[in-house]
Structure 1
Amino acid sequence: MKFSLSFRRRSSVVWLLLAVVAQAAEDAAKEAPISLPTFTVTDSRELPPPESWRHAQIPNFEILSNASDRETQRLLRDFQQFNQAIGVVWPALIGRSPTPTTLILCGRGGKFDAFVPVKADGGPQVGLASLFLRNAERSTIIVDLQTRELGLAGLEAAGGVENNGFIEVDSYKQLYREYVHSLLSRNTPRMAAWLEEGLAQLLMSMKFSPTLIEFAKLEDPNTVSISQANAAVLNAAGAAAGEEGVLIAAAAEDRDFNAALTRSRLMSFQELFAVPHDSPTARNPIGSRWAKQATAFVHMCLYQTGKRHQKGFVTYITRSAREPATEALFKECFGSSYNDMLLELRGYLDFTSYTSLGWSAKKGEGFPDPAPLALREATESEVGRIKGEALLLAEKPEAARTALIAPYARGERDPRLLAALGLYERAAGRDDRAAKFLEAATMAKVVRPLAYVDLARLRFDAAKNQPGGAEGKFSSVQTQGIIAPLLVARAQPPMMNELYELMAETYVRSADLAKPEILDVLVEGVQLYPRRLGLVYQTAVLCFYGGAVDNAALLIEHGLRYAPSGAPQARFVALRDNLPPGAAEAAKAKAKAAAPAKS
């Protein structure tokens, strides 16, 4: 949608409005000092002793580590180079709107296990040494640096060399995998789990250095790990010397799909495609047949010599994002049934003919060195907040509560901790306590958009229960008190559709007309979230009553195009019928002219 010049974003005016409203709200808050809630500790076990963790920050990441400084610095230096390599291989993936992410590196003391969700157990044949946990607002990546090997049932021999029932864990690759998942999860609509996993496995296996990148290149399936080769040599030497006894065996490697699936039964495509993101199967990639087969299918479709499936693959993932992913759709796109494609995939595993990609830097060029990592001792507040919010994402509310309240009970009052406590209390339905924490955090100018949105929602609910204006409308003071934190939230990442929707709903209920500057912000919200039809409708109503008839007509036309039939369509029709003569026709003509031509 394209709107008239007067309704494009006028940044300086909006920022001025934000400053004025925020200052008014701050002045009002100063008149009413905030008394923070207390937590009553009835059991000494509720307050665990403080833990020693190290803290650091890199772009888009806040880091908590209890590994050694040397190990942490080495890992994060490598990780930042990996991120630079992704910027070359897939630049658009890096350029997506950042979601605040915490990175927890568990190097000793068995700390990783506390974060593993109860429903993450995938059985004895697979394992995990990393986690990616998320909600709409933020995410966390947790990596087990302590575990070097995992014991798995049913590990097969590789290259004729037996293993000892354990598989090696590459912590670096597990971090890369979770990071790629965090980037891909921002896609709307989200990719299918098998597709995300296949792409993540390909990217995590990328070879890179400051001057060279190799992508989609597979290992020789006949090779074995150094430790397994050494074990084979020792066994052979012992046999030649006539020694008898138990043979030496080493841990298996987590191999590329062309080696890992050589002797394995392949899953049907129905099974492969049916796995959801948060299932134990998707969360346990180490030793996983599902993860390897997903990677094999993606690799075959994208990089097989001749690229005979590439066009069908792109068509399939595009259409399956908006249509049911049925076998009929699969056959339309690929020209093959599930069973026929499974036979072809088996052939690809037996004879993998493909083209890999490579980049090399010119002499004197290459990736710049990452900035030195500034590690320091984490405060109790940082430890409690980061761990507590990660435990909430892992669906462990009791452990999260303990982690969050421990630093607060010891006197910590960091604004980010107060915001986390406010959001925790809000989620638990304790709105009075939540409001006090959120008021304190936002007065301290915390960077946490959801804290401002939830505070605005609490004020909205209070105004709704007791409106201060005529005819049950919100008064100017109530409206201003709701809008002020929303404007602050708008200036902080990530963007949130909730703030625009709440702003629109507030003005629909307000005695005040929305000023042009506010309508600018609402139109911005529609442009960011064009399928949020409730926002589209309310913005159209506010534009209509605010005198912006042309923009109201465009919004109505957009709503009529995308709203389902019945009541959702009817409300846009009713609003259109109130437009001045010719406005609806002009909007339709403008929308038609702006639409891309059909090929």
Structure 2
Amino acid sequence: MTARLTGGLILLSCLARPLVGADDVVTAGETLELPTLTVTEQQDLPPVESWQHTRIADFEVLTNASERETRRLLADFHKFRQAVRLVWPVSAQRVVSASLILCGGKNSFDPFLPAGPARGDQLVPSLLLRNREQIAIVVDLQTQLVAINDPAALLATGGAAAEYQVDHYRQLYREYVHFLLSQSEVRPPAWMEEGLAQTIMDIELTRKTLIFGKIDSYKGSASGGSPLEAAADDATVAGAIVGEQPFNIVLQNRRFIPFARFLAITHDDPEAVSPLGNNLWAKQAYAFVHYCLFGEKLKYKEALVQFVGRLAREPLSEELFRDCFKVGYADMEKQLRAYLRYTRHQYQKYELQDSDLLAPADIALATASPAQIGLIKGDALRLALQPAAAHQEYRLAYRRGSREPALLAGLGQVDPEPENALKYLNVATKEGLPSPTAHAALARLRLDGFKAEQGTDGRLTNAQMAGVLAPLFKARTLPPPLPEVYATIAEAWSLSAVSPKPEHLKVLDEGIRLFPRHSALLYQAAVLYRQAGVPANTRAIAQLALRYPQDETQRARFEALLAELPPAN
């Protein structure tokens, strides 16, 4: 930490003028003002929504479900988190804030669905919303049954969609596992993430034991429908209600998705966005990951780890797959088909301690304050990329008197008026808010404002540079590190009236080490080093960028940059 702070002081001291020279920069002793409220805003307030609040470990919980349902779910969630620590000893990275929103009231889940053309068609009874410093898990407890095109239901000629019974506990498990998986700098492939999620979601928990990796062929059997047309456990029956079934049941009479296509499905493809019920792709992911981790006497466990690791830096291909697993796609499909018929596997069993348990009665629920409602809902809506809805929630709490730094920071990131946004962020960051995102947002607003000023040549003065760099260097001292901090530093130096010297750019080396796949940062840093007369650094950065997968446009930019450099000594 000391080294990072020292580097920041050296960089700022290299500027010709101190921070005081900038008109819009907050200085010591300066009086800060917040946007004022109109008389109408102060008086015309809607009733406060009915929510309850509690805290479970690192999670702030907001719920409008019944107290009984909330307590049971939270007690189970606590037990599940303790269980995950046993089977997954890597601790979760701390985030600035984590929230869990349990939606049991009428349509209270709908506002959190991310905007998009397919919003109304998405069957998502739970959401994980996150950025690098915040997460929000939102669970729809109101919906009990949804109609899905279940693979088993479609086996029958003209078979109708089945009614899928939503397991809210499993949905909460799913999102928590996806949160853990999303913390790596390089996100795992979609099939790996879903396969691990399904495996961990199927942990068997009793009061005393935890069983991990065991396949129960009878779980999730169908019920309902007409017994005159098919067996009672046949999910092809019209009107049947199905639960989540294990992969060996779902896939036993189904063709696999060809492995080339299966492995290529991304997190944004429909199969991965809504893996609800007995989704063919999701169950194939479950089968493949389970086979590698628990089947065939763990023969493919190391191969799986190697394959996923190499995918982080190499494009997907059958040659890469064969190099890791020593078999091609077709042979692996045959082995996986045999595994469905005879699912011989090694599961793990753990003993639980009484100290790992939390009784529902021990969970204290209290009426949520307007500030808690506005901040938790506003943050979740902002993470769902709905700035207008987030602004409305934050603003309601602000109108009711909340001036918490976290609320002001949220307002500053979604207010459509840059002048107001600057006021919110100036106050929030001066109050010592431990949010690197807020400091980075303040720097971005200042930089955009300076660029938009009339009568300038587009270059930043020393005072303006100081005003932009100060919050960015503060953000560097706060966890977690953010790529936009370093990218904005690079952009500011590219616009500076004073050309940067090599020592000014050392901070970008830190960003490159942390985020070697951030193409925009690497390209800007490479260009700046070339301008500063250090072609060796430019060459090293461009070569580093080309080691990682790039689209054609990005690759061409780095190749052109290399071509312009003098020959290496």
Compute the TM-score of the two structures, normalised by the length of structure 2: 0.77
Matches within 5 A, 1:291-330: 291-330=282-321
How far apart are residue 202 of structure 1 and its match?
A: 0.6
> Alpha-carbon deviations, 1:79-122, whole Å to 9, x = none?
23322322222223x34464743321112223123323455869
Aligned pair count?
A: 534
2:429 is matched with which residue?
442
Amino acid aligned to 2:165 = E
1:74 is matched with which residue?
72
Amino acid aligned to 2:423 = K
1:189 is matched with which residue?
186
* C-alpha spacing 1:454/1:223, structure 2 compared with 1 (3 Å): closer
Amino acid aligned to 1:355 = Q
- Residue among 335, 345, 357 paired with 1:354: 345
Say whether residues 1:416 and 2:416 are aligned partners: no
Contact 1:258 1:349 (8 Å CA) reproduced: yes
1:485 is matched with which residue?
471
- Aligned-partner Cα distance in 1 for 2:8–2:73: 40
- Residue among 199, 203, 210 paired with 2:200: 203
How far apart are residue 438 of structure 1 and its match?
A: 1.6
- Aligned-partner Cα distance in 1 for 2:183–2:477: 19
Contact 1:201 1:295 (8 Å CA) reproduced: yes
Amino acid aligned to 1:176 = Y
Which of these two proteins has the greater Rg computed from alpha carbons? Answer: 1
Query: Secondary structure, in 3 states, of the residue corresponding to 1:109?
Result: coil
Contact 1:39 1:409 (8 Å CA) reproduced: no
> Alpha-carbon deviations, 1:107-157, whole Å to 9, x = none?
222312332345586999x94321123345533211112233334355748
How far apart are residue 349 of structure 1 and its match?
A: 1.3
* C-alpha spacing 1:146/1:556, structure 2 compared with 1 (3 Å): same
2:215 is matched with which residue?
218
> Alpha-carbon deviations, 1:227-252, whole Å to 9, x = none?
959x99xx99xxxxxxxxxx999743
How far apart are residue 354 of structure 1 and its match?
A: 1.3
How far apart are residue 197 of structure 1 and its match?
A: 0.6
Contact 1:456 1:482 (8 Å CA) reproduced: yes
Say whether residues 1:500 and 2:486 are aligned partners: yes
- Residue among 340, 343, 356 paired with 2:334: 343
Say whether residues 1:113 and 2:100 are aligned partners: no
Contact 1:152 1:167 (8 Å CA) reproduced: yes
- Residue among 530, 538, 541 paired with 1:559: 541
Say whether residues 1:452 and 2:451 are aligned partners: no
1:597 is matched with which residue?
none
- Aligned-partner Cα distance in 1 for 2:162–2:47: 37
Query: Secondary structure, in 3 states, of the residue corresponding to 1:213?
Result: strand
Contact 2:95 2:135 (8 Å CA) reproduced: no
How far apart are residue 299 of structure 1 and its match?
A: 0.8
Matches within 5 A, 1:90-169: 90-92=88-90, 94-96=91-93, 98=95, 100-117=97-114, 119=116, 127-153=123-149, 156=152, 165-169=162-166
* C-alpha spacing 1:394/1:464, structure 2 compared with 1 (3 Å): closer
Amino acid aligned to 1:301 = C
How far apart are residue 75 of structure 1 and its match?
A: 2.3
Contact 1:26 1:443 (8 Å CA) reproduced: no
Moved more, 393-402 or 382-391: 393-402
Query: Secondary structure, in 3 states, of the residue corresponding to 1:150?
Result: strand
> Alpha-carbon deviations, 1:21-48, whole Å to 9, x = none?
9999997264354241658989x9x975
How far apart are residue 216 of structure 1 and its match?
A: 0.9
Matches within 5 A, 1:582-593: none
Query: Secondary structure, in 3 states, of the residue corresponding to 1:133?
Result: strand
How far apart are residue 392 of structure 1 and its match?
A: 4.0
Contact 1:198 1:298 (8 Å CA) reproduced: yes
1:276 is matched with which residue?
266
Query: Secondary structure, in 3 states, of the residue corresponding to 1:214?
Result: strand
Compute the TM-score of the two structures, normalised by the length of structure 1: 0.73
Query: Secondary structure, in 3 states, of the residue corresponding to 1:91?
Result: coil
Contact 2:97 2:135 (8 Å CA) reproduced: yes
- Residue among 58, 61, 66 paired with 2:59: 61
* C-alpha spacing 1:573/1:196, structure 2 compared with 1 (3 Å): farther
How far apart are residue 203 of structure 1 and its match?
A: 1.0
Moved more, 560-569 or 466-475: 466-475
Amino acid aligned to 1:318 = G
| Root mean square deviation, CA, Å | 4.8
How far apart are residue 481 of structure 1 and its match?
A: 2.8
- Aligned-partner Cα distance in 2 for 1:350–1:134: 39
Amino acid aligned to 2:321 = F
- Aligned-partner Cα distance in 2 for 1:78–1:572: 60
- Residue among 46, 59, 84 paired with 2:82: 84
Query: Secondary structure, in 3 states, of the residue corresponding to 2:137?
Result: strand
Which consecutive unaligned segments of at least 5 residues does structure 2 have? 154-158, 232-236, 547-557
Contact 1:164 1:252 (8 Å CA) reproduced: no
1:533 is matched with which residue?
522
How far apart are residue 196 of structure 1 and its match?
A: 0.8
* C-alpha spacing 1:57/1:123, structure 2 compared with 1 (3 Å): closer
> Alpha-carbon deviations, 1:239-272, whole Å to 9, x = none?
xxxxxxxx99974321221223334343232442
Contact 1:302 1:310 (8 Å CA) reproduced: yes
> Alpha-carbon deviations, 1:251-296, whole Å to 9, x = none?
4321221223334343232442343313432232222222111101
Moved more, 365-374 or 501-510: 365-374
How far apart are residue 165 of structure 1 and its match?
A: 4.4
- Residue among 369, 378, 384 paired with 1:379: 369
Query: Secondary structure, in 3 states, of the residue corresponding to 2:245?
Result: coil
Contact 2:52 2:365 (8 Å CA) reproduced: yes
- Residue among 237, 249, 262 paired with 2:252: 262
- Aligned-partner Cα distance in 1 for 2:187–2:283: 21
* C-alpha spacing 1:276/1:210, structure 2 compared with 1 (3 Å): same
1:178 is matched with which residue?
175
- Aligned-partner Cα distance in 2 for 1:456–1:315: 40
Contact 1:105 1:143 (8 Å CA) reproduced: yes
Query: Secondary structure, in 3 states, of the residue corresponding to 1:143?
Result: strand
- Aligned-partner Cα distance in 2 for 1:193–1:57: 31
How far apart are residue 462 of structure 1 and its match?
A: 4.0
How far apart are residue 184 of structure 1 and its match?
A: 1.3
Contact 1:261 1:349 (8 Å CA) reproduced: yes
- Aligned-partner Cα distance in 1 for 2:286–2:166: 18
Aligned identity (percent) is 36
Contact 2:95 2:134 (8 Å CA) reproduced: no
How far apart are residue 345 of structure 1 and its match?
A: 2.2
* C-alpha spacing 1:567/1:466, structure 2 compared with 1 (3 Å): farther
Query: Secondary structure, in 3 states, of the residue corresponding to 1:300?
Result: helix
How far apart are residue 198 of structure 1 and its match?
A: 0.7
- Aligned-partner Cα distance in 2 for 1:133–1:201: 19
- Aligned-partner Cα distance in 2 for 1:209–1:71: 19
